[in-house]
Amino acid sequence: MTFSQASFRSDDPSTTHSAVARLLEDAGSALAEDRPLARSLIEKAWALLRAEEEAFSSGSLPIRRGGLAPWQAHRVANHIDVHLAGKIPIRDLASIVRLSSGYFARAFRRTFEEAPHHYIVRHRLELAKKTMLMSNSGLSEIAFACGFSDQAHMTKLFHHRVGESPGIWRRNHRGRAELNARCASRQADGENEGAP
């Protein structure tokens, strides 16, 4: 009976859990005939669980009672970031971390301190802001690219959350960004002139 711990390393906790389960089964089988082997297999299972805990608890989110486990929070946040332009149903997020939709929604709120819908809208608005500053695309294109149903939908949410329309926000912030870039360029040119 041989086991390679490295062959089970994965970001997928289900793979780790399967490996731990196999190790414990093998340890149970070996317990009567080869106690040192059984002990070794149990130690490997424990090491896998410790490594998984360390890997996923090193995230920036604190662990909250009744919330998502760090690996679940990480996986859901990544999924949202990758799929912002499309529909993100709660049932899909819940299935990613193998929870019911109701339990997932409560655990998400405890972990991220806001409902999944609010979290998604906030991230879409942040993406819209970055896109408005970095491109000349029209607001309707930006709205669609950021996952809003249309420009009116983005405008309504943007005005509610930011306090002004996307067009006004874009003009004000783009002007500031361009002014800051020109000032930085002039400052760099001034420093280069003084260089030998």
Domains of the chain, by residue range, sit at: 5-57, 70-113, 119-193
* Among candidate residues 96, 74, 100, the one with its CA nearest the CA of residue 14: 96
CATH 3.40.1160.10 fits 119-193, yes or no: no
Say what the pLDDT of residue 195 is: 54
Q: φ and ψ at 184, to 5 degrees?
A: -65, -40
Q: φ and ψ at 165, to 5 degrees?
A: -75, 155
Q: What is the pLDDT of residues 6-64, one digit of tens each?
A: 334 344 455 566 777 787 888 788 778 887 787 777 877 777 666 655 555 555 555 56
Q: What is the pLDDT of residues 137-182, one digit of tens each?
A: 999 999 999 999 999 999 999 999 999 999 999 999 887 666 666 6
First to last CA, the chain: 71
Q: How far apart are the C-alpha atoms of 19 and 39, rounded to whole Å?
A: 16
